[in-house]
Amino acid sequence: MTGIEGRYDELLAAGELRPDPDQAAAVVALAALQSQLERGAPKRGFFARLSGARAERPRGIYMWGGVGRGKSMLMDLAYESIDFGPKRRIHFHEFMLDVHERLRVERTKESGDPVPPVAAQLAAEARLLCFDEMVINNTADAMILSRLFSHLLDGGVTVITTSNRPPDDLYKNGLNRELFLPFIALIKERLDVISLNGPVDYRLERLAGLPVWHVPNGPAATEALREAFFRLTDYPVEDAANVPVLDLAIPGGRALRVPKALKGVAVFSFRKLCGEARGASDYLAIARNFHTVILVGIPILGPENRNEAARFVTLIDALYEHKVKLLAAADAQPDDLYVSGDGAFEFERTASRLMEMQSADYLAAGHGED
Ligand SMILES: Nc1ncnc2c1ncn2[C@@H]1O[C@H](COP(=O)(O)OP(=O)(O)O)[C@@H](O)[C@H]1O
Ligand SMILES: [Mg+2]
């Protein structure tokens, strides 16, 4: 497997990436971690074990910075390059949902503190954990994270994570924040904190000048969205080898098939997303997992489409609240999509959101930011 430095240099040479000093520094740190992990744990001699000295553990990496700085890109590159397993890459929010579900199961066993056994399960399943978009905004997460991560790190798990914030700003102004502070201390002690805050928002740059709402559905719209997909991901949408189908896990155990997904960009048809029995949990999972959604085939809706219209409203609310960028092909401008039928009056709010989602401010905002 090629090292992350080699992969990064290839992408620079191919013109997919532009030189960026902050990224270059992060790549050096990631490459050092890669070689440490791939070299394997040093064999510890008898006396070292006897003296109880802690084995040298690889430090994890915490990359933080503004939107579009390449945090997810670098983490994906590290995840793919590092030959060390088992490994797991997961959006932080989905990880915490998984953790709480495991804690719930553990508590039914009534055998004391549920955190250590859950950490042990997680550590057995992945020795390298890569999180995208670490953010803590609820007390339930805040109160267990320090203990959970202590156990994970002590259990030999290495963590690479991205975040929009430096560690000191995690769970800022949160309830009982003093109980959360040990987690921040733990991060600083056991992870290298690296900032990616160069002047360029590469995502915005790639979106620049691209219209996002295309009317009507048809070859011109399709071509424009193909071009947008390529600009955002560097791959043609029909390149099946590089643009996989993805089954997105929905809390509650179902899955949602994403026909095309790459680098945080997902492509859906209106028919699949709003024409079938889907609901808020599907749309929230999409909104959390993708920074950009390309939605094709939005028709003009009439009174007979009230279910589709209601689902579309829920979808747009989820995308809007998570600042997901929407590129779409539709048969009408937002104001003219659903003018008569149940909920057509309430649809005006959705139409107004769809207009705002085309604004420069919205397009420049970070994914998931308040
Ligand atoms: N150095 C770079 N040159 C050109 N494009 C880049 C560079 N770094 C990242 N990108 C692209 O910019 C977009 C945003 O990167 P991403 O990793 O999603 O940012 P973040 O996670 O920091 O918000 C992606 O399409 C990514 O491939
Ligand atoms: Mg990202």
Q: How many CB atoms lie within 10 A of CB 300?
A: 13
Q: Tell me the CA–centroid distance for residue 70 and ligand 2, in Å.
A: 7
Q: Can you give the pLDDT at residue 108?
A: 93
Distance (Å, whole) CA 215 – CA 280: 27
Considering only CA atoms, which of 316, 318, 323, 290 is closest in space to residue 301? 316
Chain center to CA of 67: 12
Q: How many CB atoms lie within 10 A of CB 46?
A: 7
Identify the nearest ligand to the CA of 76 by its number.
Answer: 1
Q: Tell me the CA–centroid distance for residue 94 and ligand 1, in Å.
A: 22
Distance (Å, whole) CA 78 – CA 88: 12
pLDDT digits 0-9 by tens, 99-139: 999 999 999 987 889 999 999 999 999 999 999 999 998 99
CATH class, 202-364 region: alpha beta
Q: Tell me the CA–centroid distance for residue 122 and ligand 1, in Å.
A: 29
pLDDT digits 0-9 by tens, 205-244: 888 888 999 999 999 999 999 999 999 999 999 999 999 9
Fold topology of 4-195: Rossmann fold (3.40.50)
Q: Can you give the pLDDT at residue 209?
A: 83
Contact in structure between 330 and 217 (CB atoms under 8 Å): yes
pTM of structure: 0.84
Distance (Å, whole) CA 153 – CA 123: 9
Q: Can you give the pLDDT at residue 43?
A: 60
Nearest atom of ligand 1 to the alpha carbon of 74? 17
Residues 35-55, mean pLDDT to the nearest whole number = 69
Nearest residue by C-alpha to atom 11 in ligand 1: 202
Q: Tell me the CA–centroid distance for residue 68 and ligand 1, in Å.
A: 5
Residues 360-368, mean pLDDT to the nearest whole number = 88
Domain definitions of the chain by residue range: 4-195, 202-364
Residue 292 main-chain phi, psi, to 5 deg: -140, 135
User: Has residue 42 got a pLDDT over 60?
Assistant: no
Model confidence at 51, pLDDT cuts 50, 70, 90, reads low
Q: Can you give the pLDDT at residue 53?
A: 55
Nearest atom of ligand 1 to the alpha carbon of 70? 17
> CB under 8 Å to 162, separation ≥6 — which residues?
63, 64, 71, 72, 75, 131, 132, 133, 134
Q: Tell me the CA–centroid distance for residue 353 and ligand 2, in Å.
A: 23
Report the pocket of ligand 1 as residue ranges, CB < 6 Å. Answer: 17-18, 20, 23, 67-73, 202-203, 206, 232, 263-264
Pairing between β-strand 292-298 and β-strand 265-269 as defined by DSSP bridges: parallel
Longest dimension (CA), the chain: 80
Considering only CA atoms, which of 25, 150, 5, 183 is closest in space to residue 78? 5
Nearest residue by C-alpha to atom 16 in ligand 1: 70
Q: Name the H helices within 126-180.
A: 139-154
Residue 220 main-chain phi, psi, to 5 deg: -65, -45
Nearest residue by C-alpha to atom 7 in ligand 1: 17
Q: Can you give the pLDDT at residue 47?
A: 65
Distance (Å, whole) CA 367 – CA 324: 6
Q: Tell me the CA–centroid distance for residue 76 and ligand 2, in Å.
A: 10
Distance (Å, whole) CA 256 – CA 246: 8
Same fold, 4-195 and 202-364: yes
Strands of the sheet containing 128-132, edge to edge, are 87-91, 128-132, 158-163, 60-64, 191-195
Nearest residue by C-alpha to atom 5 in ligand 1: 17
Q: Can you give the pLDDT at residue 111?
A: 81
Identify the nearest ligand to the CA of 196 by its number.
Answer: 1
pLDDT digits 0-9 by tens, 318-341: 999 999 999 999 999 999 999 999
Give Rg (Cα) of the chain: 22
Identify the nearest ligand to the CA of 265 by its number.
Answer: 1
Buried b / exposed e along 212-228 (16+ C-beta atoms within 10 A): bbbbebeeebeebbeeb
Place of tokens 């191919």: 14
User: Has residue 259 got a pLDDT over 90?
Assistant: yes
Q: Tell me the CA–centroid distance for residue 71 and ligand 2, in Å.
A: 6
Identify the nearest ligand to the CA of 20 by its number.
Answer: 1
pLDDT digits 0-9 by tens, 148-160: 999 999 999 999 9
